[in-house]
Amino acid sequence: TRASSPLRLAYVDTRFTTIKLKAEDTSGRLHLITLQLKAQYPKEAPECWVDFPIPFAVSWTSESSLASVHRQFLAAAESLKSFWDTMDELDEKTWVVEPEKPSRSATMRRIVLGNNASINIEVDPRHPTMLPDCFFLGADHVVNPLGFKLSKNIHLWDPTNSLLQNLKDVLEMDFPSRATLEKSEFTMDCGICYAYRLDGAIPDQVCDNGKCGQPFHQACLYEWLRGLLSSRQSFNIIFGECPYCSKPITLKMSERKP
């Protein structure tokens, strides 16, 4: 175990009201603590911003100092060690497509499973190895069996194992690496606009034909289907043909994300 990180100044403005401190936790992760000093400082506690997945409240008295904030930060960071270990393993050993550059406060990961399918997980920072909230994205013929395995094997979940190991066990699969998938015919890009992001949206509509599985942005697929003479709409569902394989495809407009 490394010794307590010394107090290190990263930035201070000319009025000495905004201060940024560097901190290194026992795992060697570097952090930044941003402090806004009030007019009554040190009698009044400074405002504090940290990149944490849980609230960080400073305990402050008139005798407190920046060093005490630093010590409180390191103690709180130590309580999050297991959470960050969990997220770092996911980032290192799977292909995370969202967020593209995860912050230390980010509790969500969207992980590629292959076959143009992915899983969204929301990890509890206080209990990172417990079963996370999760849902699958992709064609029904791909994600439905995964959902069935998750339900069938939920009893295998062991909080003493890592979250990634548990996901492998309950889904009965290994998570493919980005390098492996990029050498195959796997694609995450929209089959209509050929981009991954469109106004912040990702291609979350997938053709359910087992020989196709091409993903599309909802907006792109909507415009495509709306332009087809053969398409029809019933309430919030549009029926038409896949731009790639011409097999039937549907788009539920109620699922459109803001």
pTM of the model: 0.76
pLDDT along the chain (258 residues), means of 10: 66 91 93 93 92 94 90 95 97 90 95 86 97 89 91 96 97 86 70 86 84 88 86 86 90 61
**pLDDT of amino acid 185:** 58
**pLDDT of amino acid 114:** 80
The CATH T-level fold of domain 187-257 is Herpes Virus-1 (3.30.40)
| CATH number for the domain whose boundaries are 8-79 | 3.10.110.10
Q: What does the domain layout of the chain look like in residue ranges? A: 8-79, 94-180, 187-257
**pLDDT of amino acid 132:** 96
DSSP string for 72-128: HHHHHHHHTHHHHHHHHHHHHHS-EEESSS--TT--EEEEEEETTEEEEEE--TTST
Q: Do domains 8-79 and 94-180 have the same CATH topology?
A: yes
**pLDDT of amino acid 1:** 42
The CATH T-level fold of domain 94-180 is Ubiquitin Conjugating Enzyme (3.10.110)
* Tokens representing residue 252 in the block: 């539920």
**pLDDT of amino acid 86:** 97
- CA pseudo-torsion sign 173, 142, 196, 258: negative
